[in-house]
């Protein structure tokens, strides 16, 4: 009898298709008047010899039924959950609620890249005024009044004695006045020249650099600038120093890199020379040291400067400098 | 400077290709910027730096090539047989400081006419137009030897006399003069201008341009050729003042070769005789300003130590000799006399450059310096903090979708007028004017950034960009009575532009709160505690949707919707766009940003929250409620959050509902419900009393 019950349960379990059916099945077997409850009650009428064996059998079946019902129940719950989750499905191919990041201006991106390279080489960052005295912008840098070298830079005047700085070089003088050697800093910033066309804007950016100590040589200038240019434009970049003139450096150099657009074979950008002018540099002119009270017998140093717009134009192949200042969002978002 | 290769080869024979010669010149510091083929010749366009006036001539460039190639220089023929006849002609230098040497020759019986073709062609290659044979010869010698000459019509010079001086030197009293130059224009001269006079009147502006009345014409037969040295500063000042820039003034103001002037004079006389005939008379040469040659003393050791080289002294001497320098060996040093044409060489550094140039910049090794490890000074660490503040500021707006712009530092009155900023506003009063702006709209340095951002908006909208957010971090400038230089302050400004667009996801937050929210988050991140917002008084903002930012009670910026009145004035073809602007002074924030962070222990006991909605007058700002809660000042209030502001159904007209949540917590115990309930009721009662409000049921 009890052996048949197992068989019967399995048959009935098979036909259970809803949680309600399962509930009914549980009542039929495990309820107060269920088959197993009844069988346990009937146990008292069995002989004492049969009782332990029968009792064990009934309990086995009871555990068997309980386990199957529990597992069936779990299956139903699982199915229900699946249904709920399916109902909550969204079209994941729709675009997200896009939180577009803004972009840093390309000039500042390049400026940061350059600054970062020098900071890693131990240069600190110095700042100076953009509206500057004639003294710092010219005189102290060995551009005497009424000297043709001043024609190299078309100047905006605030008064006879106050100008918009035409280069970041005045920060050299201010930086040296503030401290004693050793000196190692760069000075990024805005500069102004009275000029506007496809390659000139009245305001642009420069990074100036200065290093002063005992035993600083022209050879060191080449070392630092080559290291910088290799970082900036790649380790295979060819670098060329050639003589030039700046009143505040002597010897002075113009620094070229092999054209990064044509690789040196000659193109429109490098005017078929294969070289691109990228930096002005030189050994600090002793006249400048005298102006800041550094002993020219003990100290030597080098200075350099570069235009950021030009570097950014080369880096991104931009052919019109004015794009930087039109601030068209379609342009700015490209960087 | 345009230089014909054929002309150079006459002086320095050679067979190098034109491209190789161009490269050689570039590496010597004479950058060849262009190479042009002209009728079987090559013309180099050379960028001669202002320190090398000696190279503003064929001879100068040839000297460089001669030294580099080791080929001797052929000086052009200039010997003239001019000792014919007695001269009744006087030259007086009245101002030897400004004219150290003045020489001249008279040529009589010339025939003025067109120049021969070879001469015309050479001038043409040099970019000079042919005029007549006499003028052409002076220009030819200018290009060839770099020394400017001037030919006067001898017949027009009164009193057989030349005087060199300013009006003061000649007339005993400095005065401004009017003078007609040979280009036919009347020019006003400064009283200190150096002039060439005959016995009665000025006949040329020294070193710049001759006068119309003594100009060589077709009927001229006799001429006086001038070859002189004029003071560079004097020539430059007069050239600037008169606005005259000539081939002559360009060279004089850079410095001419005082020795060369005699050869140049002879060369011109030689050529004139050849080309225009006539009889060359003896030379008059007045040289009161003879200076002893400059001596430079420097050691080979110093030269090597600056360059990072180890060149033997003999090599250094050879380099200098090749360049025309005279070198005497002293005790452990070299006594160097540069040639007269090298006016740029004045000190040891100049000698070092000559050695570097000759040795070759390319050959100097690139070696990283041995450097001492730097120590950040107090000043620098302060600045490093400012940089981190700027970085934080920039990052927060970048990540919030704002794109950085950079605008010119200029503005005009129109920018401030558009915004209705009063003329008595400091942003008007403290403008720093530029004397020579490129455009009238750019007459001043900016006193605020927002006008440029408005221009950026107009530009972008006109280019069909319909939704964007911009920011800028730049300096603004304000004039100062006490300081020589204007005050430079870093400002931050942002602009949000949006048109009504259809969007997948709904977000109807007023854009004012978008921008204000980022600013608040930023201030919190910078640990600036003492900030507040009040209704803005800026005339260009929507009065109902704008706020001024106060730090520690001082106004330091604003945020708000651009006033619809101003939006209408802009050239924007859009209906009711949302434009929110913000600007604040970054430098002002700096001292309030907390640099030292101190840990606060985390709470040990649980907190408890209570929500309440109050119905108050519409005019009561939500900040008032927060202020009152702070004023109540209980240690147990941990946090206050506003979570709803509502007007409309179920709320009487002129009222609004404000809902807030307060979190209570004690540091030393768990608060009981009774504690919290009692306190909360007291607080609500306090606020109701102060605001005349009622708890919303």
Q: What is the DSSP string of B359-426?
A: H-GGGS-------PPP---HHHHHHHHHHHHHHHHHHHHHHTTPEE----SEE-HHHHHHTT--TTSH
At residue B82, the pLDDT reads 65
At residue A3, the pLDDT reads 77
Among A121, A250, A271, which would you mutate to test the B interface (most chain B Cβ atoms within 10 Å of its Cβ)? A250
Cα–Cα distance for residue pair A173/A138, rounded to 1 Å: 10
Q: What does the pLDDT look like over A262-283, one tens digit per residue?
A: 888 888 888 888 899 999 999 9
Task: Please check the confidence at residue B531 and state whether its pLDDT lies above 60.
Answer: yes
Q: Which of B374, B380, B405 sits opposite A105 (nearest CB)?
A: B405
- Determine the distance from the C-alpha atom of residue B446 to the mean position of all C-alpha atoms in its chain, rounded to a whole number: 16
Task: Please check the confidence at residue A253 and state whether its pLDDT lies above 70.
Answer: yes
The mean per-residue pLDDT over the stretch B530-546 comes to: 94
Q: Is A107 exposed, middle or buried (0-12, 13-18, 19+ CB in 10 A)?
A: buried
% of chain A residues with pLDDT over 70: 100
Q: Which of A158, A194, A327 sits opposite B407 (nearest CB)?
A: A327
- Cβ <8 Å between B459 and A328: yes
Task: Please check the confidence at residue B166 and state whether its pLDDT lies above 90.
Answer: yes
- Cβ <8 Å between B305 and A215: yes
The mean per-residue pLDDT over the stretch A295-302 comes to: 96
Cα Rg of chain B, angstroms:
40
Lookup: tokens for B562:
């651009």
Predicted confidence band of residue B650 (pLDDT cuts 50, 70, 90) = confident
- Interchain CB contact of A148 with B (< 8 Å): yes
The answer to whether the beta carbons of residues B478 and B432 sit under 8 Å apart is: yes
The mean per-residue pLDDT over the stretch B534-559 comes to: 96
Q: In CATH terms, is domain A106-332 a member of 3.40.630.30?
A: no
Q: How far is A35 from chain B (nearest CA, A)?
A: 53
Q: What ipTM was assigned to the predicted interfaces of this complex? A: 0.89
- Interchain CB contact of B456 with A (< 8 Å): yes
Cα–Cα distance for residue pair B408/B53, rounded to 1 Å: 36
Q: Is B155 exposed, middle or buried (0-12, 13-18, 19+ CB in 10 A)?
A: middle
- Taking only residues 228 to 287 of chain B, the set having a beta carbon closer than 8 angstroms to any beta carbon of chain A reads 232-233, 236-237, 253-254
Lookup: tokens for A162:
């106050």
At residue B6, the pLDDT reads 95
Q: How many helices (H) and strands (E) does chain A have?
A: 12, 9
B91 DSSP β-pair partners: B162
Partners of residue B28 in chain A, C-beta under 8 Å? 243
Task: Please check the confidence at residue B86 and state whether its pLDDT lies above 70.
Answer: no
Task: Please check the confidence at residue A193 and state whether its pLDDT lies above 70.
Answer: yes
The answer to whether the beta carbons of residues B106 and B279 sit under 8 Å apart is: no
Q: Pick the more confident residue, B501 or A76.
A: A76
Task: Please check the confidence at residue A40 and state whether its pLDDT lies above 90.
Answer: no
> Phi and psi dihedrals of B551, rounded to 5?
-115, 125
- Cβ <8 Å between B410 and A202: yes
Per the listing, tokens 């200075």 go with A303
Lookup: tokens for B52:
């090398």
Rounded to whole angstroms, what are the CA distances from B14 to B9, B69, B143, B318? 6, 9, 21, 22
Task: Please check the confidence at residue B571 and state whether its pLDDT lies above 60.
Answer: yes
At residue B83, the pLDDT reads 63
Task: Please check the confidence at residue B501 and state whether its pLDDT lies above 80.
Answer: no
Q: How far is B659 from chain A (nearest CA, A)?
A: 29
The CB-side HSE value for B110 (13 A sphere, CA atoms) comes to 37
Task: Please check the confidence at residue A54 and state whether its pLDDT lies above 90.
Answer: no
Q: Is B612 exposed, middle or buried (0-12, 13-18, 19+ CB in 10 A)?
A: middle
Could you give all domains of chain B from N- to C-terminal order, each with its CATH number? 2-69 (3.30.56.10), 90-286 (3.50.40.10), 296-358 (3.30.56.10), 380-592 (3.30.930.10), 608-695 (3.30.70.380)
| Nearest CA among B518, B510, B283 for reference residue B396 | B518
Predicted confidence band of residue B343 (pLDDT cuts 50, 70, 90) = very high
Predicted confidence band of residue B500 (pLDDT cuts 50, 70, 90) = confident
Among B241, B306, B323, B507, which would you mutate to test the A interface (most chain A Cβ atoms within 10 Å of its Cβ)? B306
Name the residue in chain A with its Cα closest to that of B398: A102
Q: How far is A85 from chain B (nearest CA, A)?
A: 22
Cα–Cα distance for residue pair B425/B88, rounded to 1 Å: 73
Cα–Cα distance for residue pair A319/A328, rounded to 1 Å: 15
Weakest mean pLDDT among A27-31, A187-191, B359-363: A27-31
> Phi and psi dihedrals of B229, rounded to 5?
-115, 125
3-state SS class at B249: helix
B555 DSSP β-pair partners: B550
3-state SS class at B458: helix
Mean pLDDT of the residues in chain B: 92
Cα–Cα distance for residue pair B139/B142, rounded to 1 Å: 5
- Cβ <8 Å between B410 and A219: no
Partners of residue A216 in chain B, C-beta under 8 Å? 369
At residue B84, the pLDDT reads 59
DSSP per-residue letters across B614-669: EEEETTS-HHHHHHHHHHH--TTEEEEEEEEEE-STTS-TTEEEEEEEEEE--SSS
At residue B617, the pLDDT reads 93
At residue A293, the pLDDT reads 96
- Interchain CB contact of B350 with A (< 8 Å): yes
Weakest mean pLDDT among A30-44, B335-349, B402-416: A30-44
The answer to whether the beta carbons of residues B656 and B645 sit under 8 Å apart is: yes
At residue A1, the pLDDT reads 67
Inter-chain Cβ pairs, chain A and chain B, closer than 8 A: 236
| CA angle (B586 as vertex; B584, B589 as ends), nearest 5 | 100
At residue B396, the pLDDT reads 93
Task: Please check the confidence at residue A4 and state whether its pLDDT lies above 90.
Answer: no
The answer to whether the beta carbons of residues B327 and B334 sit under 8 Å apart is: yes
| Nearest CA among B339, B276, B270 for reference residue B115 | B276
| Nearest CA among B357, B346, B92, B141 for reference residue B251 | B141
The 3-state secondary structure of A251-282, one letter per residue: EEEEEEEECCCCCCCCCCCCCCCCEEEEEEEE
Q: What does the pLDDT look like over A121-146, one tens digit per residue?
A: 989 999 999 999 999 999 999 998 88
Cα–Cα distance for residue pair B26/B28, rounded to 1 Å: 5
H or E segment to which residue B145 belongs: helix B133-145
Predicted confidence band of residue B696 (pLDDT cuts 50, 70, 90) = confident
At residue A152, the pLDDT reads 77
The mean per-residue pLDDT over the stretch B646-657 comes to: 90
Q: Give the largest CA-CA distance in chain A.
A: 133
- Taking only residues 572 to 611 of chain B, the set having a beta carbon closer than 8 angstroms to any beta carbon of chain A reads none
Name the residue in chain B with its Cα closest to that of A238: B362
Rounded to whole angstroms, what are the CA distances from B388 to A107, A207, B88, B393, B590? 19, 20, 81, 8, 11
Lookup: tokens for B668:
């030393």
The answer to whether the beta carbons of residues B110 and B272 sit under 8 Å apart is: yes
Task: Please check the confidence at residue A49 and state whether its pLDDT lies above 90.
Answer: no
Residue B521's CB: how many other CB atoms inside 10 A? 12
Lookup: tokens for B16:
């190098």
3-state SS class at A219: helix
At residue A133, the pLDDT reads 97
Q: Is B369 exposed, middle or buried (0-12, 13-18, 19+ CB in 10 A)?
A: buried
Weakest mean pLDDT among A89-93, A220-224, B631-635: B631-635
Q: Which of B253, B349, B488 sits opposite A148 (nearest CB)?
A: B253
- Interchain CB contact of A129 with B (< 8 Å): yes
- Determine the distance from the C-alpha atom of residue B104 to the mean position of all C-alpha atoms in its chain, rounded to a whole number: 43
Task: Please check the confidence at residue B373 and state whether its pLDDT lies above 90.
Answer: no
Task: Please check the confidence at residue B381 and state whether its pLDDT lies above 80.
Answer: no
% of chain B residues with pLDDT over 90: 80
List the strands of the sheet with B487-498, edge to edge: B403-404, B467-478, B487-498, B578-585, B554-562, B541-551, B531-535
At residue B375, the pLDDT reads 58
| Nearest CA among B248, B55, B38 for reference residue B135 | B248
- Determine the distance from the C-alpha atom of residue A270 to the mean position of all C-alpha atoms in its chain, rounded to a whole number: 31
Predicted confidence band of residue A301 (pLDDT cuts 50, 70, 90) = very high
Partners of residue B26 in chain A, C-beta under 8 Å? 242
Partners of residue A130 in chain B, C-beta under 8 Å? 409, 475, 477, 488
Predicted confidence band of residue A20 (pLDDT cuts 50, 70, 90) = very high
Mean pLDDT of the residues in chain A: 92
List the strands of the sheet with B432-433, edge to edge: B410-411, B444-445, B432-433
Rounded to whole angstroms, what are the CA distances from A241 to A255, B223, B513? 5, 49, 55
Q: Is B500 exposed, middle or buried (0-12, 13-18, 19+ CB in 10 A)?
A: exposed
The mean per-residue pLDDT over the stretch B574-602 comes to: 87
Partners of residue A90 in chain B, C-beta under 8 Å? none
At residue A53, the pLDDT reads 86
At residue B388, the pLDDT reads 81
> Phi and psi dihedrals of B210, rounded to 5?
-80, 175
| Nearest CA among A106, A154, A138 for reference residue A325 | A106
At residue B502, the pLDDT reads 78
The mean per-residue pLDDT over the stretch B173-199 comes to: 93
At residue B600, the pLDDT reads 86
Residue A169's CB: how many other CB atoms inside 10 A? 29
Task: Please check the confidence at residue A216 and state whether its pLDDT lies above 90.
Answer: yes
Task: Please check the confidence at residue B384 and state whether its pLDDT lies above 70.
Answer: no
Q: What does the pLDDT look like over B455-496, one tens digit per residue?
A: 999 999 999 998 999 999 999 999 988 889 999 999 999 999
| CA angle (B156 as vertex; B151, B157 as ends), nearest 5 | 75
């Amino acid at each position: 009898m009890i052996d048949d019950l197992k068989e019967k349960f399995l048959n009935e379990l098979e036909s259970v298709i809803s949680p309600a059916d399962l509930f009914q099945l549980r009542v039929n077997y495990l309820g107060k008047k269920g088959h197993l409850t009844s069988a346990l009650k009937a146990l008292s009428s069995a002989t004492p010899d049969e009782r332990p064996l029968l009792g064990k059998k009934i309990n086995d079946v009871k555990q068997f039924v309980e386990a199957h019902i529990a597992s069936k129940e779990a299956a139903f719950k699982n199915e229900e959950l699946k249904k709920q989750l399916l109902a909550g499905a969204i079209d994941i191919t729709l675009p997200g609620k896009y939180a577009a990041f803004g972009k840093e201006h390309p000039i500042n991106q390049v400026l940061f890249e350059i600054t970062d390279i020098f900071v890693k080489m131990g240069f600190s960052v110095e700042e100076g005024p953009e509206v500057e005295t004639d003294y710092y912008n010219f005189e102290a840098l060995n551009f005497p009044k009424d000297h043709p070298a001043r024609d190299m830079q078309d100047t905006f005047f605030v008064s006879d004695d106050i100008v918009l700085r035409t280069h970041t070089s005045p920060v050299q003088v201010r930086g040296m006045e503030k401290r004693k050697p050793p000196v190692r800093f760069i000075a990024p910033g805005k500069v102004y020249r009275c000029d506007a066309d496809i390659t000139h804007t009245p305001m642009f950016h420069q990074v100036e650099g200065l290093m002063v100590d005992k035993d600083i040589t022209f050879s060191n200038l080449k070392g630092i600038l080559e290291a910088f240019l290799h970082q900036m434009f790649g380790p295979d970049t060819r670098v060329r120093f050639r003589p030039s003139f700046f009143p505040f450096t002597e010897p002075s150099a113009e620094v070229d890199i092999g054209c990064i657009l044509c690789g040196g074979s000659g193109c429109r950008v490098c005017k078929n020379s294969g070289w691109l002018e990228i930096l002005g540099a030189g050994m600090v002119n002793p006249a400048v040291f005298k102006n800041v009270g550094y002993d020219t017998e003990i100290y030597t140093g080098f200075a350099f400067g570069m235009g950021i717009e030009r570097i950014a134009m080369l880096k991104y192949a931009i052919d019109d400098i004015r794009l930087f200042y039109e601030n068209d969002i379609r342009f700015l978002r490209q960087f | 400077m345009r230089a014909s290769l054929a002309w150079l080869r006459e002086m320095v024979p050679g067979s190098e290709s034109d491209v190789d010669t161009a490269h050689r010149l570039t590496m010597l510091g004479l950058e060849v910027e262009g190479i042009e083929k002209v009728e079987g010749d090559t013309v180099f366009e050379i960028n001669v730096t202002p320190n090398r006036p000696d190279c503003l001539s064929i001879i100068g460039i040839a000297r460089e090539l001669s030294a580099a190639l080791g080929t001797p220089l052929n000086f052009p023929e200039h010997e003239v047989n001019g000792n014919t006849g007695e001269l009744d002609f006087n030259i007086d230098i009245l101002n030897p400081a400004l004219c150290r040497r003045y020489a001249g020759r008279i040529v009589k019986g010339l025939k003025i006419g067109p120049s021969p073709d070879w001469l015309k062609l050479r001038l043409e290659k040099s970019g000079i137009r042919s005029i007549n044979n006499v003028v052409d010869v002076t220009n030819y010698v200018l290009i060839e030897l770099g020394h400017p000459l001037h030919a006067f019509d001898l017949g027009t010079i009164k009193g057989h006399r030349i005087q060199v001086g300013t009006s003061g030197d000649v007339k005993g009293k400095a005065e401004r003069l009017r003078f007609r130059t040979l280009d036919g224009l009347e020019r006003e001269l400064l009283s200190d201008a150096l002039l060439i006079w005959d016995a009665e009147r000025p006949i040329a502006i020294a070193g710049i341009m001759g006068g119309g009345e003594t100009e060589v014409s077709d009927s001229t037969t006799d001429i006086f050729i001038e070859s002189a040295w004029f003071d560079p500063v004097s020539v430059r000042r007069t050239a600037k003042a008169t606005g005259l820039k000539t081939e002559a003034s360009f060279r004089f103001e850079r410095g001419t070769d005082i020795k060369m002037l005699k050869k140049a004079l002879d060369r011109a006389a030689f050529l004139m005789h050849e080309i225009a005939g006539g009889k060359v008379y003896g030379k008059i040469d007045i040289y009161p300003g003879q200076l002893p040659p400059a001596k430079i003393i420097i050691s080979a050791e110093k030269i090597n130590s600056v360059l990072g080289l180890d060149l033997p002294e003999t090599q250094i001497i050879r380099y200098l000799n090749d360049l025309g320098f005279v070198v005497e060996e002293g005790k452990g040093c070299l006594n160097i006399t540069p040639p007269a044409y090298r006016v740029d060489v004045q000190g040891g550094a100049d000698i070092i450059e000559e050695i570097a140039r000759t040795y070759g910049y390319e050959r100097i090794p690139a070696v990283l310096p041995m450097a001492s490890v730097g120590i950040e000074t107090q000043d620098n660490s302060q600045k490093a903090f400012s940089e981190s503040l700027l970085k934080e500021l920039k990052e927060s707006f970048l990540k919030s979708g704002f794109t950085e712009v950079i605008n010119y530092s200029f503005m005009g009155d129109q920018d401030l007028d558009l915004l209705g900023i009063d003329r008595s506003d400091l942003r008007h009063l403290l403008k720093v004017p530029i004397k020579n702006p490129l455009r009238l709209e750019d007459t001043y340095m900016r006193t605020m950034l927002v006008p440029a951002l408005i221009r950026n908006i107009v530009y972008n909208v006109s280019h069909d960009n319909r939704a964007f957010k911009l920011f800028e971090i730049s300096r603004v400038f304000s004039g100062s009575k006490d300081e020589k230089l204007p005050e430079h302050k870093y400002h931050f400004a942002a602009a949000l532009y949006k048109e009504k667009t259809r969007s997948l996801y709904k977000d109807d937050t007023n854009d004012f709160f978008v921008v204000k929210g980022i600013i608040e988050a930023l201030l919190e991140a910078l640990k600036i505690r003492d900030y507040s917002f009040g209704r803005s008084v800026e005339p260009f903002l929507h009065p109902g949707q704008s706020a001024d930012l106060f730090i520690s009670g001082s106004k330091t910026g604003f945020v708000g919707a651009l006033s619809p009145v101003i939006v209408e004035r802009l050239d924007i073809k859009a209906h009711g766009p949302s434009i929110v602007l913000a600007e604040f002074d970054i430098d002002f924030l700096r001292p309030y940003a907390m640099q030292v962070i101190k840990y606060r222990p985390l709470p040990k006991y649980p907190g408890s929250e209570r929500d309440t909605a109050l119905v108050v007058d519409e005019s009561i700002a939500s900040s008032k409620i927060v202020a009152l809660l702070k004023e109540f000042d209980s240690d147990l209030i941990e946090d206050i959050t506003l979570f709803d502001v509502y007007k409309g159904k179920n709320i009487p007209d002129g009222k609004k509902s404000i809902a807030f949540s307060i979190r209570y917590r004690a540091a030393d115990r768990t608060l009981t419900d009774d504690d919290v309930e009692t306190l909360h009721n007291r607080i609500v009662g306090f606020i109701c009393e102060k605001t005349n409000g009622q708890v919303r049921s």
